Amino acid sequence: MYLDAREIGSRDAYRLLIGTVVPRPIAWVSTVSADGVGNLAPFSFFNAVSSSPPMVVISVGNRDGQPKDTARNAREVPEFVLNIVTEDVAEAMNETSAELSFDADELSLASLTPLPSTLVRPVRVAESPIHIECRVEQLIPIGRGPEGNTLILGEVLAYHIREDVYDAERKRIRLDRLHAVGRLAGDGYCRTNDQFELIRPNPNYRGR
């Protein structure tokens, strides 16, 4: 089957995209407004894009033609925290995806515990095993019309890692203990505990 993306409606194009680009990591993003109102929301249009300096990107869609709270907050207070989503917090993450008013407290709604960050103003989610403090490097509008998105490009400033998921000797995350969750299409998610290795043929590869 051949489908010309230029001839597909936006809703169908979205469904095809999220059904083929799988699995996707989940950014559970803490932000705060200039008035001090916190927000917590998950996004699966998210990835790491640089290692020197370490940088990440999150794509935040509009709602009714207006930027969602995360993008709005990132403009007012250019900082955020990535809270890694695991099986233990998947239900709570899903609760925070609800469309709420700007002054709603998602952490309280999902019975989550806020923790102060070290270098940024948004709080961390205590129940998540890894928190990544970030500074907004750029806000980049993309897309067409009211259905556009805002790319939030952020520089990683600091990590908070629970000791049981960190191999201090090798300076690696223990993925076998992290049990991170990935996003599929529709209401689908996936686990990451079924893993296998393929060793790269390049002898200079430094990923291990």
pLDDT tens digits, 19-40: 999 999 999 999 999 999 999 9
Q: How many domains does the chain have?
A: 1
Q: Which domain holds residue 186?
A: 26-191
> pLDDT tens, 114-133?
999 999 999 999 999 999 99
DSSP track, 80-144: EEEEE-BGGGHHHHHHTTS---TT--HHHHTT--EE--SSSSSPEETTSSEEEEEEEEEEEEESS
- Structural domain includes residue 19: no
The whole-number pLDDT of residue 94 equals: 96
173 belongs to a structural domain: yes
* pLDDT tens sequence across 90-104: 999 999 998 888 778
Contact assessment for residue 8 and residue 1, using Cβ atoms and an 8 Å cutoff: no
Residue 96 lies in a domain: yes
pLDDT, one tens digit per residue, over 130-180 is: 999 999 999 999 987 777 899 999 999 999 999 999 999 999 999 999 999
Model's pTM, two decimal places? 0.93
| Residue 64: CATH number of its domain | 2.30.110.10
The residue ranking higher by pLDDT, 63 or 189, is 189
Residue 99: the pLDDT is 84
Tell me if 5 is assigned to some domain: no
Q: Determine contact, residues 82/132, Cβ cutoff 8 Å.
A: yes
Cross-strand pairs, 154:
56, 136
7 in a domain, yes or no?
no
The answer to the question of residue 187 being in a domain is: yes
**DSSP for residue 52:** T
pLDDT at residue number 206? 64
First-to-last C-alpha distance (Å) of the chain: 39
Which amino acid, residue 141?
A: P
Q: Does 15 map to a domain?
A: no
For residue 56, the cross-strand partners are 48, 154
Q: Is the dihedral of CA 104, 106, 110, 115 positive or negative?
A: negative
